[in-house]
Structure 1
Amino acid sequence: MPKKERELSFSGTFATDIALPGMMFASVVRSAVPSGKIKSVSLPGGTGKMELISAADVPGRNAVSMLGTDAEIFCTGDIRYKGEPVALVVGEDEREVRDAARKADVVVELDFSRKKADGERTAIIAARTEKSAGFSQDDFGKAPFVVDETWENAMRPLSMKETNAAAAYFDGDRLSVYAPNQWIHNMRESLSACTGIPRHKISVTRTPISKKSSSAIFQSEIAAAMAAIASIKTGRPVKLSYTRSEQESFVENPARITVRHKTAVSEDGRIIADDIRITADAGAYCPFAEEIAERLLLGASGIYKAEKRRVSVKILSSKNPPRSVKMKAIAMHDFFAAECQMQRIAEVTGISPKTLRKANLDAENALFGGIRIADAIDAVTQSLDPFIRRQDLSATKNDDCRTRKEFPGGFDSSAFDRKFFAYRMRESGTNFLDTVSPSVPNKVGTALACAVEGIGYAKRPTVLRTELHDDGKFVIESFPVSDADWGAWTRTVSDILKIDRTLVFLDPKIDEGKENNWPDTLSENTGIKARLLKECCAETRENLATGIRCASAGADAGGKPFVDAAFAACIVEVEIDACTLSVGIQRISVAFDCGRIQNKPLMEMQARLEIQKQLPQLMEGKLLSCNDIRIQFMESDGEPKQIGNIIDSVVPAAFASAVSVARGRTISRLPITERDILG
C-alpha cells in the first residue's frame, strides 16, 4: 500500500472487482425470521479455516449512524426484519464462504406473543408532513363529480447493475476502504466510531456507483464497516460482495408507496378540491424519511392545480427490510397517481383527457416556468393522425355523432380524442368475459400521461468552483460526473471561453473542509451544476476582459424547489386479444420539451432505451414489447434539459390507463396481473 494516501480518492474499478494482495472474502449470515432474539451463531463442522465475526468482534460501536438513525452492524438482540445481518463469515475461497454463511447455525428465541404475518407491525410513523390550502370536506358534498381512487406503482426494475460491495485493508495504523459510497463524510464518521480508528487515519476510495437510492447509501456504509472490522481482526485485506439475491432484497427492494386522490370536479372539468393522501412503507429503518416525505409532498399534484387542496404524507416503519427509494425518480409515484386520476376523471365526467388536462394546468407554478406543457400535449396527440389504423377510423366515424352527444363536456376532433371515446364506449357497460370469443373484435384502449422530470428540493447548497490557470488549463472542482455530463460540460466551457475542450480538466480532490455534509448523490444535482458552470464561465470571461489572466470563479444554489429537466407527454395504445386475453402494446408516442437539443440522435436513442427498460416491468410474469415507438422533440432556444427519469413517470401511467379503457374497468396498480385482466 502507498506510504501516504489521500483521505479521499476515486477509482474507475467497481468494488466487486477490487483485488488486493492476500485478500480474503466475506459473506453475511442473516436472520431467517422477521422477529425474535438472537441467542447464538455458529458455523457447521467442516468449514476449514474460516472465521466467524459477530458483534463481539466490533472494536468500537456496533452501529452505523446516519441522520440520527442507527442500524446495528450485527444484530445482538431483537431482530428487526427478516434478513438482518447477525454475523460475517471470512475465508480464502468466496464460493465456500458463501456456502458456509448459508449453512450457519443461528439460534433464535422466537417471540410467540407477537404472532403476526411477516412484515406486519403496528404502524410507526417515521416522518409525516402536510400542506393545505383552503381545503374543506364540504366541497365534496357540493361537487357534481367526486372521484376517489387509490393508486400504486409497485413496478420493480430488473436487477442488472453491479451489486453492493466493499473492500478494506488495515495495516496496523491506517484503514483504507474501497466502496461505492455516496456520502464520504458520514462514512468516515461511521468507520471511526465502529473501529476506534481516528478519522484522519481513514482513507476512502470511491468506486463507481451503480445504484443511487436511499438503501444503497446506507447499505454501502454497512458493508464497508463489516469489511473494515473483518480486516482488523484477520490482519488481511477483506472484500465483501452482495449476492444478486441480497442486492434485490436489501438494496433494490423498492418502498411501497400508495397515493389516494379524492377529487371534487365541476361540470366543466375544473378541479374544485383535491384531498391527496400518500403512504410509504420504508421498512425497518429509513434515515431519509423526512427527505422522502418532502419530495413526495412537492410533486403530489403533478402539473395540475386545484382551487382547494390538502396533501398529507406519512412514511411508516415496519418489520420489512429497509426499502429503497431512488430520490431523483421519486416523483414517478406522484405522477403515476396524478395522471391515472386525471384519466379516471375524464371517464367519469365524459370530458376529453386532453381537454381536461389543459383546463387544469398549473400555469402559475414557478416550478414549470418556461415549459411548454400545453404545446407538448397538442404535439403528441396530433402526432397520432398519420398513424390511425383503418379499423380505428371506421370506429370513430361510426361513433362520431354519438360521441359528441354523449360527451358534450369536451370533445375535439383530434385523433386521440376520437379514438379514446370510441374505445371507451365500446368497452364500457359490457361483461368482459362474455365478450371473450374469436368472433368478436379485440379490446383496444388508448391513454395520455404527462410529467416533468427532476422535481426535487435543494435543501443544501450545491457549490461549484472553477479556475483558469495561466497555462490555459480550465479546472472544474467537482465530484466525477457521467461521460455524457462531462461532454456537455466541456462543450459549455469551449463555447463560452473559446477554450479547446482538451484543456478542460476535472479535479475530484475534495479536501477535509469541503466534504459534503449531505449525501453527494442528493446534493450534487447535475442540472443545477450545469447552470452553475455557465455562471462560473461567464464570471471568468468578465475577469479576463479586465486583464486578469489567472481567474477563479464560484457559484452556489440551494434552498428552493426546482425542475431541472424535460417535460414529456406520452400516449400508449394497447390491445387485448379477445381469445387469449393477452395484452399487447400497439404504439407508444412521446413528445418532449427539452429546450435546445445538442445531440438529437443521442437524445432519441436514450429515450427509446428508457422506454424499452420500462416494458418488461409493466405486467407480472410477461415481457411486453412495442415495435412502434414514436419520439419527437419540441426544439427551442431554451436551456438544454435532460430526459433523466421522465419515462418512468409517463409510460407506466399511460399504459395502466390504456388497459383500463380496453378492459372497461379501472386498473389502479402496476405491475398488472392476469387476475386484473380477468377481473
Structure 2
Amino acid sequence: MPKAGERRRAVPKKKTKGAQGQISFQNDFYSDISVEGMLYARIVRSPVPSGIITSISQGDLPDGYFLFTAHDVPGCNLIQTPLGKVPVFSEGNIAYCGEPVGILVGPDEKELARLLQELQINYDANSIESYLEPENPAGIPAAQTHPAENGSGAIEHVSASSLFSSKIAERKIERGNCFLPDQNGVVPGLESVFTSAATVQEGTWAYAVNTPYNREPNGALCSYDGTKLTVYTPTQWLSNLRKVLSEATGIDGTDIIVNKTRACDHGTNSIWYNAFIACQVAVASYRTRCPVKLVYTREEQQKYMDCMQPITISHRTALSREGKLLALQVGIEVNAGSSNVFIREIIDRLAIAATGCYDAENVSITSSAFYSRNPPSSIDQQLIDSAAFFAIENQMNKLCGSSGFTPAEIRLLNLTEGEYSARNAPLVLLPKAKETIDAIIARSDFNRKYASYHLDNITRMRQKGKETQIISYLTPLRGIGFACGYEGSCYYGSEVFSSDQSLTVTMQADGTIVIQSPPISRSIQEIWSKLASSILGITQSSVSIDSHFDAGNEPLLPEGVYSNISIMTQLLKKCCESLKKRKPDTKLPFSVKKKLSAAQKKAWDSAEFEGTPFHSCSFAAATIEVELDPCTFREKIREINIIINGGKILNSTAAESNIKLAVQRVLTSLVEEDSVECNNIKIAFMQSEENPTQIGELVYQVLPAAYTEALSQALGCTVSTLPMQSNSLYKLLQEKEASEQKQSKKQSTPPAQTAAATPNADAQAASDAQPEPEKTEEAAHHDDTGNA
C-alpha cells in the first residue's frame, strides 16, 4: 500500500465509454465501480451541534490509513455559494451535529469502521459567537471529549426556543385596495377587511413530506494521478461540480474528467452538496495519489442528504357572504438548517404558490427562511410548491365548514382568472381549470358523497350519552377530500436560470438526426424520435441522442430542475422545422440551435415580484375517499380520482404509468415509517391540442391535501400536519372527545353557579361563547346541515 503523497495511477477494472473525454454520461451506479488499488473512505463528523473543535485524537493509525481535515485541502476550503461560503471540512466552529470535520481512508472497510469509533474529538462547548457576546466574556474554555459522530443514532436537534437562530431571507407581498389610501388619504389596512368580513377562519399547517426512494446513497469515486482528476459521481449539476472541484483542489477545470453516473435523487442537498462530497473524496485522492471511494450509508443519506425540516404555514382568511375571498394573510416559515443555497428561490416559490389557484381581493404574504443548528434542509426542487398547496387547499376546506359552501363551490367562485390585474400578481395561468374541476366532481360523485359523509358526521356529534357514543363508532368512519393545484415549468426568477437554455439538433451527411441533450428517459426518447421523424419525414431509428459534452460546454443548469421536457420538446420542434426549411444545397452536417428567448424571461419582474413567473403551467384536480377502521384506527383509501390538463399528451400510456407511480410514492410518504395503500386509482387527461406541459409532479401538489381533507371529514376534526404518525388518528380522536366532554360540562353548568363562581359573569359568559379550536368547524357543521 502506497504512503500518502506517493504517486500511483488508478486503472479501472471495467471499461466505461467516454473515459477519454472531459465528461461522459454512464448508466452505471458509482458504487458498483471498482478500480485497482482503491481505498475506501468514511466521513468523520462532529458529535455536537455547536462549539469549537480543538483537536482530533487519532492515535497511531495503521499503515495505509490516513485522516485528512481542512488543513489538508490543497485549494480553498471555503467555497463561495449564493448564501456565502460553505466549508469542505469544518475549520473548527461547528455548525450542526454531524458536520464533516475530516475524512478517514484506508484499504479495509471494516477496519475503517473500527477506527472511526476510536477517534476522539476534543471541543470547546462555547461557540465563537458566545465569546463575542459582551454579557458572556470569554473565560476558561469548557473543553470536552466526545467520540466522533459516525452516522449512527439520532441527530441532536437544538431546543425549540432556539430552533430558528437567525433570519437569512424574506419575501413580503402586499396586494389589494386595503393597502392603498382612500379618499381621505387613510390606508385602511388588512385588519379592516377582516373586521367587516362575514367569515374569518384561521389555520396553521406543518409540512415535511419527503418522498422515500430506494435509491443509491450519495457519494463519489475520485482518482488523481498527479495531473488529471477523474471523478465518478451521480452529479445533477455538472458545471457547478467542475467549478467547486477546481476551487477546492486547485486543479484546472480542463484537467478534471467527470463521469456522471446514474442519479435518481432530486433533493436540493443532492443537487448542490454532491459537489462538496466529491471535493472531500478528491482531497483524499490528491493526498494519497490513490483512487478513493466514499459511499454514504443509508443512515447518513437520510440524516444529512434527505432530511427535510418542517415548513410551517399559517393562514388567516376572510370570506364574503357570497363566497368570495376578501383577504388572505399568509405567514411562511422555512427552517433551512445550517445552509441551503436555493433558499431564496424556495421562499419565493412558496410565496407565489401561497394563494394556490385562487384570486383574493387583498393579499398579505410573508415568506421567511431561518438558519438553525440542524443539517442542511433538503427540499425536492421540483416539489417546493407542494407545501404551499397543502396549506391553502386545507384552508379552503376549513372555510367550507364555517361558511356553508361545498369544497367545489368555494373553489369555483375564487379561481384565478386569465387576465392580469394588480391584485392577483404574480399571475399564474391555469389551463381549463373550471372544466377540470367540473370533470373531477362528476367522475368521483364528489358532491353526493361529501354531503352524505358530512351529515353522517353531524349525526355522530349530536348523539348524547356514553352508550350511543360507543355505538356511533362501531361503523367505519368515512370522508372524502378534494384538492387542486398547478405545476409551473421553468421558473423565470431562478438565480441560476439562464435565458441561454438551448437545444441543438444536427442533420448528418447520411440524413440521420442527432439531438444533443443530457440523458433522458426511454419514454421521452420515444416521444422525441417520433416528433422529429414526423416533422422531417424520416424513420424513428434515424434519430439519436448525443449526451457527451466537452469541458466548459456542459449544461449550466441543474439536471431536471430548471430545464424541463415541455420546454425542450418545444425547442426540438422549432429545430426540426428549421431543418426542414433549409435550402436543398445546404452542406451537411448542418446544425440548428434554438434557445429560450430573453423576452420570455422578461415576462417575470423579480424586483417587483409581478408578471408571469413560469414558462407554462399544467393543472390537476384530485379526490380521495377514505374509510377508518373504528377498531384499529387505521385508514383505508377506497378510491383516488385524478384529472390532469397538461396540454397535448404525446404518450398517454407512459403518462398514465408515470402518474400512477407518483401516486404510490406519495402514499408511502404520508405516514412515517409506514405506507398507505390504494388499489383503486383512476387517472384521466383533459383533451387538448395545446403544447405539452410538465405533469410529472402534479400528484405531489394535490394528493397530500386531498388526503388530510378526507381524514378531517371522517374524524370530525382538523388534520393539520404531514407526515403523520401511525397513532396520529387515535390521538386526534382522543383529543376531540376530550374537547367535546369539556364543552358539554360547560354547557351543563347552571347559570347561577357560573355567576357565583365568576366575579365578572358577563366576561365569563362571553368567554364560554367562544368555541374550542376544534369546535369551530364542528359548530359550523351543525348550522350548515341544510346547505350540505
TM-score normalised to structure 1 length: 0.90
Please show how residues 221-232 of structure 1 align to structure 2 within 5 Å.
Answer: 221-232=275-286
In 2, the alpha carbon distance for the partners of 1:377 and 1:569 equals 6
Residue 469 (str. 1) matches residue 502 (str. 2):
no
Query: What is the match of residue 251 of structure 2?
Result: 197
1:664 partner amino acid: G
Deviates most, 329-338 or 209-218: 209-218
2:296 partner amino acid: Y
Residue 10 (str. 1) matches residue 25 (str. 2):
yes
- SS of equivalent residue, structure 1 residue 523: coil
Cα RMSD for the two superposed structures: 2.7
CA 1:185–1:602 in 2, change beyond 3 Å: closer, same or farther?
closer
CA 1:196–1:60 in 2, change beyond 3 Å: closer, same or farther?
same
Indicate if the aligned counterparts of 1:276 and 1:310 stay in contact, CA closer than 8 A: yes
Unaligned runs of 5+ in 1: 389-413
2:433 partner amino acid: I
2:547 partner amino acid: P
In 2, the alpha carbon distance for the partners of 1:616 and 1:128 equals 32
In 2, the alpha carbon distance for the partners of 1:426 and 1:365 equals 44
Query: What is the match of residue 65 of structure 1?
Result: 80
TM-score normalised to structure 2 length: 0.78
Indicate if the aligned counterparts of 2:489 and 2:694 stay in contact, CA closer than 8 A: no
In 2, the alpha carbon distance for the partners of 1:122 and 1:152 equals 15
CA 1:30–1:21 in 2, change beyond 3 Å: closer, same or farther?
same
Residue 154 (str. 1) matches residue 208 (str. 2):
yes
Distance apart, 1:228 and its partner CA: 0.8
Among candidates 239, 251, 255, match of residue 185 of structure 1 = 239
Indicate if the aligned counterparts of 2:489 and 2:693 stay in contact, CA closer than 8 A: no
Distance apart, 1:348 and its partner CA: 1.3
Query: What is the match of residue 357 of structure 1?
Result: 411
Please show how residues 230-309 of structure 1 align to structure 2 within 5 Å.
Answer: 230-309=284-363
Query: What is the match of residue 41 of structure 2?
Result: 26
Distance apart, 1:151 and its partner CA: 1.3
Residue 460 (str. 1) matches residue 460 (str. 2):
no
- SS of equivalent residue, structure 2 residue 561: helix
Query: What is the match of residue 514 of structure 1?
Result: 553
- SS of equivalent residue, structure 1 residue 491: helix
In 2, the alpha carbon distance for the partners of 1:198 and 1:348 equals 64
Please show how residues 507-586 of structure 1 align to structure 2 within 5 Å.
Answer: 507-544=546-583, 550-557=589-596, 559=601, 560=604, 561-562=613-614, 564=616, 566-586=618-638
Residue 596 (str. 1) matches residue 630 (str. 2):
no
Indicate if the aligned counterparts of 1:423 and 1:662 stay in contact, CA closer than 8 A: no
Indicate if the aligned counterparts of 2:237 and 2:272 stay in contact, CA closer than 8 A: no
Among candidates 98, 108, 127, match of residue 169 of structure 2 = 127
**1:111-168 deviation line (CA, Å, top 9, x unaligned):** 2969993573553222111222124321111111111111122223224111101111
Distance apart, 1:264 and its partner CA: 0.9
In 1, the alpha carbon distance for the partners of 2:560 and 2:355 equals 25
- SS of equivalent residue, structure 2 residue 718: coil
CA 1:428–1:503 in 2, change beyond 3 Å: closer, same or farther?
farther
Among candidates 445, 458, 472, match of residue 425 of structure 1 = 458
CA 1:170–1:622 in 2, change beyond 3 Å: closer, same or farther?
closer
Distance apart, 1:93 and its partner CA: 1.8
- SS of equivalent residue, structure 1 residue 485: helix
Residue 606 (str. 1) matches residue 658 (str. 2):
yes
CA 1:601–1:191 in 2, change beyond 3 Å: closer, same or farther?
closer
Q: Which has the higher Rg, Structure 1 or Structure 2?
A: 2
Query: What is the match of residue 640 of structure 1?
Result: 692
Residue 442 (str. 1) matches residue 481 (str. 2):
no
Indicate if the aligned counterparts of 1:368 and 1:563 stay in contact, CA closer than 8 A: no
Distance apart, 1:18 and its partner CA: 2.1
Distance apart, 1:76 and its partner CA: 2.1
In 1, the alpha carbon distance for the partners of 2:706 and 2:530 equals 36
Indicate if the aligned counterparts of 2:453 and 2:714 stay in contact, CA closer than 8 A: no
CA 1:152–1:192 in 2, change beyond 3 Å: closer, same or farther?
same
Among candidates 380, 383, 391, match of residue 443 of structure 2 = 383
CA 1:427–1:29 in 2, change beyond 3 Å: closer, same or farther?
farther
Please show how residues 480-519 of structure 1 align to structure 2 within 5 Å.
Answer: 480-519=519-558
Report the identity percentage.
32
2:387 partner amino acid: H
**1:538-593 deviation line (CA, Å, top 9, x unaligned):** 22222257867654322222525226464221111112223332222222111222
CA 1:530–1:227 in 2, change beyond 3 Å: closer, same or farther?
same
Query: What is the match of residue 316 of structure 1?
Result: 370
Indicate if the aligned counterparts of 1:596 and 1:637 stay in contact, CA closer than 8 A: yes
In 2, the alpha carbon distance for the partners of 1:21 and 1:51 equals 18
Distance apart, 1:70 and its partner CA: 1.9
Among candidates 162, 166, 173, match of residue 220 of structure 2 = 166
1:422 partner amino acid: L
Distance apart, 1:185 and its partner CA: 2.3
CA 1:80–1:87 in 2, change beyond 3 Å: closer, same or farther?
same
In 2, the alpha carbon distance for the partners of 1:318 and 1:525 equals 32
Residue 55 (str. 1) matches residue 43 (str. 2):
no
CA 1:276–1:179 in 2, change beyond 3 Å: closer, same or farther?
same
Distance apart, 1:436 and its partner CA: 4.5
CA 1:52–1:341 in 2, change beyond 3 Å: closer, same or farther?
same
1:488 partner amino acid: I
Residue 661 (str. 1) matches residue 716 (str. 2):
no
Query: What is the match of residue 415 of structure 1?
Result: 448
- SS of equivalent residue, structure 1 residue 522: coil
- SS of equivalent residue, structure 1 residue 210: coil
- SS of equivalent residue, structure 1 residue 97: helix
Indicate if the aligned counterparts of 1:255 and 1:283 stay in contact, CA closer than 8 A: yes
Indicate if the aligned counterparts of 2:24 and 2:258 stay in contact, CA closer than 8 A: yes
In 1, the alpha carbon distance for the partners of 2:461 and 2:320 equals 23
Residue 625 (str. 1) matches residue 671 (str. 2):
no
Indicate if the aligned counterparts of 1:566 and 1:643 stay in contact, CA closer than 8 A: yes
- SS of equivalent residue, structure 2 residue 269: helix
